[in-house]
Amino acid sequence: MDRKYGRAWKRIRDKYIRDHPFCEKCGGIAEEVHHIKPLKEGGNHYKENLMALCKHCHRMVHDI
């Protein structure tokens, strides 16, 4: 497993979903947390770089 997505990420992700329970694109139920600027491009786990998304919107963001 990539160390960037270890135990600390799970805590950050779970807290972000608790604080943002609705998809920030469509308003549906948020199930995933998306990095606006990907880690591989220098992004981070700070809340300013995160977005709560439903599975559909998360898939659409990555398909673009």
Tell me the per-residue pLDDT of 1-57, one tens digit each, with 9 for 90 and over: 455 688 999 999 999 999 999 999 999 999 999 999 999 999 999 999 999 999 999
Provide the pLDDT for residue 52: 98
Q: Which tokens hold the place of 3?
A: 């160390």
Provide the pLDDT for residue 5: 82
Provide the pLDDT for residue 3: 56
The three-point CA angle 39-47-23 to 5° equals: 95
> What's the total number of domains in the chain?
1
Q: Residue 7: enclosing H or E segment and its boundaries?
A: helix 7-19
58 vs 5, higher pLDDT: 58
Which domain range does residue 20 map to? 3-63
Q: Are 44 and 38 in contact (CB under 8 A)?
A: no
CA–CA dist 49, 1 (Å, integer): 22
Provide the pLDDT for residue 1: 41
